[in-house]
């Protein structure tokens, strides 16, 4: 792995910490996922892929070395897309392959649609992009009931403002276990909980509030319309044991973008952590196919 260069860019009063390592084209920008984690989510990709590509990473606002506002408007999707462009500008990357997991996949999708000149390719791993209007998915229901004081204390009832106030560490452990799935090592789980406890429930609540309020069917229609503006090559990856994002979402996404899903049987929501060799191979082969 090449030497790491750390930097920071400020946009509208919010500082974003980023790093770049390695060299080679195309540049790969690994997008942050939900603010419950930081760029450490991509540690295995940093270690392996920087020998072949220039790899860029940044901590989402609300996590890691970035600032942590608590106003929901600071976490609107337009803000997250603008952070992505700001990091590309700060690192002098005219174009990059964007790699996003979970919420990071949504940010990559919107960035590719709104700034097609900056995106050479798109890798979407278990992306929270629902083109089907699935209002019954546990993740969707949890956001819809986030402000309700629910009677339950287990499972998705933990994904709730009041539950976080009562026992945020308990939620962090549950969510990390749920996202990583059964095949995760004890070390991976410990790293995930450590990153989760590095942010606050107030920050996470602001992010959830920013994503709530629009019915699933309306959001799906808007995202389907957005797909027509994406003109770069796309790789979709999804594990069939994902307990956060239904694999059917990626199937619909791939069909809409005229590509196919690279399936990972037995993998959970974050296969870049639990299936390192397979995911790195898929990313590497895809990036090497991109014309620069």
pLDDT tens for each residue of 159-188: 999 999 999 999 999 999 999 999 999 999
Q: For residue range 2-43, what is the model confidence (pLDDT) as tens digits? A: 578 999 999 999 999 999 999 999 999 999 999 999 999 999
pTM of the model: 0.95
- The answer to whether residue 209 sits within a structural domain is no
Residue 150: pLDDT band (50, 70, 90) is: confident
CB 207 within 8 A of CB 69: no
Strands 119-125 and 234-239: parallel
Say how far apart CA 57 and CA 135 lie, in whole Å: 32
- The answer to whether residue 190 sits within a structural domain is no
- The answer to whether residue 150 sits within a structural domain is no
- The answer to whether residue 18 sits within a structural domain is yes
- The answer to whether residue 158 sits within a structural domain is no
Say how far apart CA 90 and CA 10 lie, in whole Å: 10
- The answer to whether residue 74 sits within a structural domain is yes
Q: Looking at the 3D structure of the chain, how many domains does it have?
A: 1
- The answer to whether residue 31 sits within a structural domain is yes
Say how far apart CA 292 and CA 289 lie, in whole Å: 9
**pLDDT for residue 153:** 80
- Provide the 3-class DSSP secondary structure of residue 11: strand
User: What is the residue range of 45's domain?
Assistant: 4-134+215-288
Rounded mean pLDDT, 186-194:
97
Q: Mean pLDDT of all residues in the chain? A: 95
**pLDDT for residue 152:** 76
- The enclosing domain of 97 has a CATH number of 3.40.50.1820
């Amino acid at each position: 792995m090449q030497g790491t260069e750390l930097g920071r860019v400020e946009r509208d009063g919010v500082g974003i910490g980023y790093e770049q390592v390695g060299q080679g084209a195309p540049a790969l920008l690994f997008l942050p996922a939900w603010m419950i984690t930081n760029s450490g989510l991509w540690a295995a990709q940093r270690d392996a892929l920087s020998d072949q590509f220039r790899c860029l990473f940044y901590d989402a606002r609300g996590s890691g070395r970035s600032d942590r506002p608590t106003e929901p408007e600071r976490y609107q999707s337009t803000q997250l897309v603008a952070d992505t462009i700001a990091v590309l500008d700060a690192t002098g990357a005219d174009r990059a392959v964007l790699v996003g997991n979970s919420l990071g996949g949504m940010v990559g999708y919107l960035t590719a649609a709104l700034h097609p000149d900056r995106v050479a390719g798109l890798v979407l791993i278990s992306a929270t992009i629902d083109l089907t209007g699935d209002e019954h998915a546990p993740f969707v229901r949890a956001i819809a009931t986030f402000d309700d004081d629910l009677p339950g204390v287990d499972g998705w009832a933990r994904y709730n403002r009041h539950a976080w106030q009562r026992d945020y560490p308990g939620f962090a452990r549950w969510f990390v276990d749920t996202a990583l799935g059964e095949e995760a090592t004890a070390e991976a789980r410990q790293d995930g909980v450590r990153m989760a406890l590095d942010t606050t429930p107030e920050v996470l609540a602001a992010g959830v509030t920013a994503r709530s309020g629009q019915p699933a069917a309306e959001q799906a229609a808007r995202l389907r319309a957005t797909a027509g503006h994406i003109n770069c090559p796309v790789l979709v990856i999804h594990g069939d044991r994902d307990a956060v994002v239904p694999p059917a979402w990626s199937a619909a996404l791939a069909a809409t973008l005229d590509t196919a899903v690279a399936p990972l049987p037995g993998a959970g929501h974050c296969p870049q952590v639990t299936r390192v060799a397979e995911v790195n191979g898929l990313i590497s082969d895809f990036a090497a196919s991109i014309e620069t």
